[in-house]
Structure 1
Amino acid sequence: MKALNAIRMGGVDVLPIVEGGKGVAVSDGLTCGHWAAGGGVGTFSAVNADSYDALGQRIPQIYHGRTRRDRHEELVDYAIRGGIAQAQQAHDINGGAGRIHANILWEMGGAERVITGVLEGAKGLINGLTCGAGMPYRLSDIAMKFGVHYYPIVSSARAFSALWKRAYHKASNLLGGVVYEDPWLAGGHNGLSNSEDPARPEDPFPRVLALRKQMRDFGLGDTPIIMAGGVWWLEEWEDWIDNPELGPIAFQFGTRPLLTHESPIGDSWKQKLLTLKKGDVFLNRFSPTGFYSSAVNNGFIQELRGRSDRQVAYTTEVVGDHTAEFGVGPRKRIVYLTKPDLVRVRQWLVQGFTEALRTPDTTLIFVTPESAAQIYQDQVDCMGCLSQCRFSNWSQEAPDYSNGKKADPRSFCIQKTLQTIGHETAGEKSPEDNLMFSGHNGFRFALDPFYSNGFIPTVRQLFERITTGR
């Protein structure tokens, strides 16, 4: 493996090894602090992070508000206190080496309020802000207010160009780096555009080279690009290291830090990672954000796939081939299906999928009574964890606090499932029954000799193995 040299990032020299920030309660101050202590860039998630009481016990995020707006305010308060707690923990462990970054999702509920509150309460503890899931134009303004570096996450040169021209050129001195997240290989939410085919992955090299050329046009030739998604062993990327065409490059590891002793995820999730096979990670569009996302194709995802598969279009009056009557809901209000679709529906009813739920696309999906009851309850319990949500029709914008659309039962409550899997206890089936994000290289845990006989490294052991090669 080529010698790995430090690069200039955020005003200091660091090893070009970055921990990827991962959603609710998964990338915490413990893993972040140990990663930074190795001389790299540690990242904790500031997305509804955990906070602790005076005895160091995690405070469960339980909501008491009667309205979604009330619960949203509770969520913002939890998120601010949690972000501060994780920043403090990372700082205490780090000991002054490396850098500590906070990761936020621009489409999370109250994103600007949350990160502003975290930075105010954790002054001097956070060196950088990483942000994706949307177009975070205001990220540079927040960075300037608090004097921290910022690291937008993009999946194309075009996206970065839009951000730069609209906002980032005003804070070029604080742009610490640009994260290129491969939309076909990265875990979690992915930045696939409407012009890109989810079934046709593209080589990242020309895409990153295009990003570098765009950055050079803006005078950013020395600003690092952080390659995220699909990175496993650095020797597989040797043609990227010290490549004058690409300029300074760092590498982000999101999936691999899941399988460490310090990782807060439960043991059953860690054991599941060791058994994944190629193709087990599924690129889907079930997320209530509307983005594509990459997750393990477990029972949770299969249930969502089943909802969409058991789907037929309907009309409220006879139109064309839609002539077959069907009664929906307790009052059996008549809608019209095609005759072939009515045959399919009758088969689903016999199988126990007796509840027909309307979608915003003038279709019906068919689920069991138990599933329907859970969908309705989860929609009622919404706490506004996203800026706007397909599943519950929440929007954080006044005066209506609604996105103006019908709630979509083909989606799910993302806050509920991520909180559940992130805080699983012994004996639970959380990895099968909840959303389990993973990068598409997750199958390599089972093939990599480093993890032979179920070996789970510490963060330090993983970091050293990455920097020294196989």
Structure 2
Amino acid sequence: MFKGLQPVLYGGREVYPLVEGGKGVSATNHASSGAWAAAGGIGTVSAVNADSYDPEGRIIPQVYSGMTRRQRHDELIHYGIEGAVAQVERAYELAGGKGAININVLWEMGGAQPILHGVLERTRGKVAGVTCGAGMPYKLSEIAAQYGVQYLPIVSSGRAFRALWKRAYSKVPELLGAVVYEDPWLAGGHNGLSNAEDPRKPQDPYPRVAELRVVMREGGVPDTVPIVMAGGVWRLDEWEDWIDNPELGSIMFQFGTRPLLTQESPIPPEWKARLMTLEEGDVLLHKFSPTGFYSSAVRNPFLRWLEARSERQIAFTKESIGDHAFELDVGIGTKKNYWVTKGDLQHAREWFAQGYINAMKTPDDTLVFVTPEDEKIIRKDQADCMGCLSQCAFSSWADNEKNSTGRLADPRSFCIQKALQNIAHGEPVDENLMFAGHAAFRFKQDPFYSNGFVPTVKQLVDRILTGA
């Protein structure tokens, strides 16, 4: 084992301080998390729209038949509970009594609380802890206490943890299993950048984690409660000064990207092959997600399509005001008046000539120019919404009495449920959202993966334990 690294007591047994990241929609399942636990670490089942199975073991397609979004939302919750329960049960069996099994949920996912209750009620004794981020999960400790499991909030700053601790977690301190620091510039998936932080200026994680430990100590949290470093973790020898460091206290490490490329990883072969080809800078920190959060994904043709769509965008006014003195004469197909600048009028005419003949309004009083085919896809995806998020910019769904954000649906975004389900179940990687951490380019550089070698989870964990 790498020098200084020590097992920690978690879930009633000693485990390696190595946590598998619980990656979104079906990118982490029972096979990978069960194997990670069997290797002595903490495996993490993704409880976000997880797959369930028929009696023959085939994945049950998540088909929605409800006529209304609310009806489809209820179906989503049902699928979410059944899928997560199936994944936990299989992972627990694969673990064979070794390591530990956590589940991961997004606080801002649709139906997060009923899904958590439904899963934890049916998996008593099999789930050691719940990791949860993507928002401020104030009720996480309260829910964990009802089922006697540990809770592991995901935060990106000491300030965020302080707010959670003061409002709720201080009431259930004994079940705080760890605090996950997810670096907002390095982690894959959704990132917790605040308005005060510049997405183009990454900060060193060490002082941010040291500050988090100070905040935890102020709240009376003992140093034996680990901080889990998540985002950008590849080799332990690069984090040597973090291990057995009195300033940081107990430290664990979360691996999100590396477990994607294992034999047990459920992602399709095309996705695994693409990971082997990535160069530094191929993962983009962007803000196209309908959650409103920044997120990190491979800059494939799908993301470039979203980038290009937003670039074909102009501001308008309903009256001739200032520079907006030129009436738009292309791209609308209605009798309404849209006033734009001279330069934007020229842009609109150029886009129209290129086939982007339909203009779609955004909530920000702009128009984006798209092809008729693209508008048809956007409209259909918006109409098919099943409320997979607590609120969605793309469809204007919100989990409230009116089931609406009260804002115009935003055509610059996309249906994240569709894109993630598609790529996880074998649809072309170039046409869907491909989450990855910013260290994914290292697959191509790391000699461990030379000649296309894909390790088992056990081989990967053994490799990590050497420091490499």
TM-score range relative to shorter protein: over 0.9
In structure 2, the residue matched to 1:43 is 44
**Is 1:228 equivalent to 2:230 in the alignment?**
yes
Q: Is the 8 A contact 1:379 1:413 kept in 2?
A: yes
Shift of 1:11: 4.5
Shift of 1:469: 2.8
Shift of 1:44: 0.8
Shift of 1:123: 1.7
In structure 1, the residue matched to 2:346 is 343
Shift of 1:333: 2.1
Q: Is the 8 A contact 1:348 1:366 kept in 2?
A: yes
Aligned length: 465
Distance 2:86 2:200 in 1: 40
Match of 1:212, SS state, is helix
Match of 2:252, SS state, is strand
In structure 1, the residue matched to 2:392 is 389
Q: Is the 8 A contact 2:138 2:164 kept in 1?
A: yes
AA matched with 1:453: N
Post-superposition CA distance 1:267-312 (Å, at most 9, x none): 0100000000000000000000000000000001001101111110
In structure 1, the residue matched to 2:311 is 309
In structure 1, the residue matched to 2:440 is 442
In structure 2, the residue matched to 1:102 is 103
Distance 2:350 2:271 in 1: 36
Distance 2:333 2:312 in 1: 20
In structure 1, the residue matched to 2:78 is 77
Q: Is the 8 A contact 2:4 2:243 kept in 1?
A: no
Match of 1:153, SS state, is strand
AA matched with 2:438: H
In structure 2, the residue matched to 1:138 is 139
Post-superposition CA distance 1:370-396 (Å, at most 9, x none): 111100000000000000000000001
Larger mean Cα displacement after TM superposition, 233-242 or 213-222: 213-222
Distance 2:453 2:398 in 1: 44
AA matched with 2:98: A
In structure 2, the residue matched to 1:457 is 455
Shift of 1:329: 3.3
Distance 1:109 1:352 in 2: 36
Shift of 1:8: 2.8
Percent of aligned positions that are identical: 60
Q: Is the 8 A contact 1:281 1:297 kept in 2?
A: yes
**Is 1:432 equivalent to 2:433 in the alignment?**
no
Q: Is the 8 A contact 2:10 2:100 kept in 1?
A: no
Post-superposition CA distance 1:245-286 (Å, at most 9, x none): 111000000000000111111101000000000000000000
Give the counterpart of 1:261 among 257, 260, 263.
263
AA matched with 2:123: A
Distance 1:41 1:244 in 2: 24
In structure 2, the residue matched to 1:374 is 377
Q: 1:155 to 1:256 in 2, by over 3 A?
A: same
Match of 2:58, SS state, is coil
Distance 2:395 2:439 in 1: 32
Tell me the TM-score normalized by structure 1.
0.98
Q: Is the 8 A contact 2:35 2:457 kept in 1?
A: yes
Distance 1:35 1:316 in 2: 58
Q: List runs of 5+ in structure 1 lacking aligned partners.
A: none
Distance 1:314 1:40 in 2: 55
Q: 1:451 to 1:22 in 2, by over 3 A?
A: same
AA matched with 2:381: D
Structure-to-structure mapping, 1:244-255, within 5 angstroms: 244-255=246-257
Q: Is the 8 A contact 2:5 2:244 kept in 1?
A: no
Structure-to-structure mapping, 1:3-42, within 5 angstroms: 3-42=4-43
In structure 2, the residue matched to 1:212 is 213
AA matched with 1:100: I
Larger mean Cα displacement after TM superposition, 317-326 or 201-210: 317-326
In structure 2, the residue matched to 1:180 is 181
Match of 1:239, SS state, is helix
Shift of 1:331: 2.3
Tell me the TM-score normalized by structure 2.
0.98
In structure 2, the residue matched to 1:190 is 191
Q: Is the 8 A contact 1:10 1:174 kept in 2?
A: no
In structure 1, the residue matched to 2:239 is 237
Give the counterpart of 1:293 among 279, 292, 295.
295
Distance 2:467 2:124 in 1: 36
Shift of 1:12: 3.5
AA matched with 1:226: V
